[in-house]
Structure 1
Amino acid sequence: MSENILKVSGLKVAYGGIKAVKGIDLEVNKGELVTLIGANGAGKTTTLKAITNTLPACRVEGEITYMGSPLKNVKSFQLVERKLAMVPEGRGVFTRMSIHENMLMGAFTRKDKAGIDADIEKWYGVFPRLKERSAQLAGTLSGGEQQMLAMARALMCHPELLLLDEPSMGLSPIMVEKIFEVIRNVSAQGITILLVEQNAKLALEAAHRGYVMDSGSLIMTGAAQDMLHDPRVKAAYLGE
């Protein structure tokens, strides 16, 4: 039996009379890369924000448990202490800090200086562009470089669960390939990932399992390889 890392049960999110998420159930088990795909506006980002308690004022119902404990009323900075990290849509790097300072911010819950230094070098090895520019202000980086930095910063806390929200958005095709290469690399190291992504083909190729979201509801789930070849997925999300 796989160890459950994240379990979402009956999640509903409403902004006034608008129902953004309509009672979904999903789970992520230890070591899995699970992807949540769907069109823009389907409710994917809202789902991630509900998990991390970063939604604006709205009505939220249902239960979310992480490592067996409920996440209700847990502050976002406390999630990092519990080793749950998120790379938000739009990256969210500290623009007036250097790359190196951003990396250190990712490890603010840790006290092992030697380990932090070793991890910075480890992720510089994965993202050599960041090492070359370590003293550069994050706000001067390209979109792809900022995405690399946001991922490396999140990994500095040794997450048990990494949430990725639209990591390929706005990037060139070459940079998208690089980002997904890193996602597969991180997953291969045993880090559990929940990936929200509009590029359904790349997401399903990288993932173990997938969920399809449409208009706030989950309409399909299964093994990612099976979904890649499902005629409904191919027609709606893969352009085939």
Structure 2
Amino acid sequence: MSDNATSPMDDVMVLRDTARAQRVVIDDLNHRMKNMLMVVQAMARQSFRDDRPLDSSMDAFESRLRALASAHDLLLTRPVRHVAFLGVVESTIAPHDPGNARVNVSGPPLVLDAETAVAVAMALHELLTNASKYGALSTAAGTVTIAWSFVVGQAGGRVRLEWKERGGPPVKPPLRRGFGTRFIERTLAGEARGEAAIRFEPDGVRAVFEAPARRA
């Protein structure tokens, strides 16, 4: 008998293993799709409000959709369940700082799971958009520093990121929390089991947030 011959039992086991692998892939796709739809729903609710013009709402919503698509493109180019934190940061920054001269980043090598990576990318996109419109990136000399560290707590490993703007227009605390702030807080809390705090300091916005992560 040829060494390559297989028994009916072997064929059954191969089919069973293939079916299990397909089920894992389908379950993962379903999970990601549900999460993505929840994010889109949150974006729509916070982009379209009665107190803002429709054109402005459409611009905000389309910008967030593009950021969400870019975040998922990052995941699709890597056939793994975890994504490098630095890759998420750099790919999100790129459209806002083409020359790599305005946004400085530093931190240890870390990785995120897929859902957390999307949430972090969306939070950074919101901060970058606000900085480009109203903050440090709206001026020629303004800069942003993004620094992160790895911390271990009762809930396990987490990345702690600090965002600080400098050189932009003087900052005045808003009379009420804007939709951008709420979007960041809800995105991180809902999708990444994280938390965020945004402070409107006179010399530039400071944001600190945490999300689950592990060392690379």
Q: TM-score, normalised by structure 1?
A: 0.23
Q: Per chain length, whose mean CA-contact separation is higher, i.e. which structure has more relative contact order (CA < 8 Å, sep 6+)? A: 1
Structure having the higher strand fraction is 1
Q: Which structure features the higher share of helix residues?
A: 2
The structure number with the bigger radius of gyration is 2
Q: What is the TM-score of this pair, normalised by structure 2?
A: 0.25
